[in-house]
Amino acid sequence: MGAGSNILFKDESYEGVVIKLTKNFSNISILNENTIVAGSGVLDRTISEFAMNNNIGGLEFLSCIPGTIGGAIRMNSGCFGREIKDVLISVQVLDKTGKVRTIPYNNINFSYRKCDLPKDLIFLSASFKGEYKEKKKIEEEIVYLKNKKEMSQPTQVKTGGSTFKNPEQKKGLKVWELIKQSVPSDLTFGDATISPKHSNFLINKGHATYSDMKKLIDFITESVKDKTGVKIDLEIIIVD
Ligand SMILES: Cc1cc2nc3c(=O)[nH]c(=O)nc-3n(C[C@H](O)[C@H](O)[C@H](O)COP(=O)(O)OP(=O)(O)OC[C@H]3O[C@@H](n4cnc5c(N)ncnc54)[C@H](O)[C@@H]3O)c2cc1C
């Protein structure tokens, strides 16, 4: 796991090994002009800030995404029309036989919030391309994007971000609209509830358990299916 911002873990003990890449995978440097290499534990906002300080534009959107580079590659994270696939050059991975190899971006199929790299690969580092842009302009863009995000999504609350993916049909309703139409906005299970600012953001008001969150998720999934006929899929990853 990276920062765990897209993962919902069960409350009981977990029968397995959890590998979290942090300090030893947090190096960040410039490889050559407008190319950045970052360890997979580097936070998205850190790479965005690093790019800004080096007059490299194109990675501003990453300032709005909580989490690490590793998580962003696995999830093909993105916002405001840009995704990690748009700036990725290659990713260095460790496979389960202990071999380290580098995979160029054009050997990876990215789609909405996913990539087709085998689930058992551990991402170690990645390189990213940007283009020259004045620091001041980048700074302005980051402030603009952060404000935009703050206006539409809850901040400073316990949440996993967007819980469900938008349905594939581009012309249909967005998932937050489907939820709004299908469930009461004050629906709660224990301390698990729906954000009044964005109905696809589920919130832990304090001491919500895994079971509270799961009941809320299941209730929403079923209600949306019953009321609108649309089957919605999870964006967050549940480990149970
Ligand atoms: C408030 C909030 C707002 C959000 N807004 C957005 C948004 O605008 N756009 C968006 O796309 N997402 C958004 N998210 C979701 C989340 O931030 C992203 O999915 C993020 O990229 C996850 O990164 P992470 O490091 O936390 O990954 P984790 O949640 O820790 O893991 C996610 C997945 O990546 C895998 N993974 C992580 N690191 C590695 C590694 N080194 N090697 C192999 N696999 C790895 C994990 O196994 C897991 O399958 C938001 C979340 C929150 C809480």
For ligand 1, atom 52: residue with the closest CA? 161
Whole-model pTM? 0.95
pLDDT of residue 23: 85
Residue 177 and residue 140 share a domain? no
Residue 180 and residue 119 share a domain? no
Dist CA 198 CA 178 (whole Å): 12
Low-confidence ranges of the chain (pLDDT < 70): 170
For ligand 1, atom 19: residue with the closest CA? 6
Residue 111 is among the residues annotated as catalytic for this protein: no
Q: Which domain holds residue 43?
A: 14-152
- Please tell me which residue in 5, 127, 162, 199 is annotated as part of the active site: 162
Query: Looking at ligand 1, which atom is closest to the CA of residue 7?
Result: 29
The answer to whether residue 7 is domain-embedded is: no
The reply to whether ligand 1 has any atom less than 6 angstroms from the CB of 71 is yes
pLDDT of residue 155: 87
User: Do 58 and 131 touch, CB atoms closer than 8 A?
Assistant: yes
The answer to whether residue 6 is domain-embedded is: no
How many other C-beta atoms are found inside a 10 Å radius of the C-beta of residue 16? 7
Residue 147 and residue 30 share a domain? yes
Q: For the chain, how many structural domains are there in total?
A: 2
User: Do 213 and 202 touch, CB atoms closer than 8 A?
Assistant: yes
pLDDT of residue 170: 65
The reply to whether ligand 1 has any atom less than 6 angstroms from the CB of 167 is no
Q: Which of 234, 72, 67, 238 is nearest to 163 (CA)?
A: 234
- Please tell me which residue in 113, 125, 141, 182 is annotated as part of the active site: 113
User: Do 49 and 63 touch, CB atoms closer than 8 A?
Assistant: yes
pLDDT of residue 130: 97
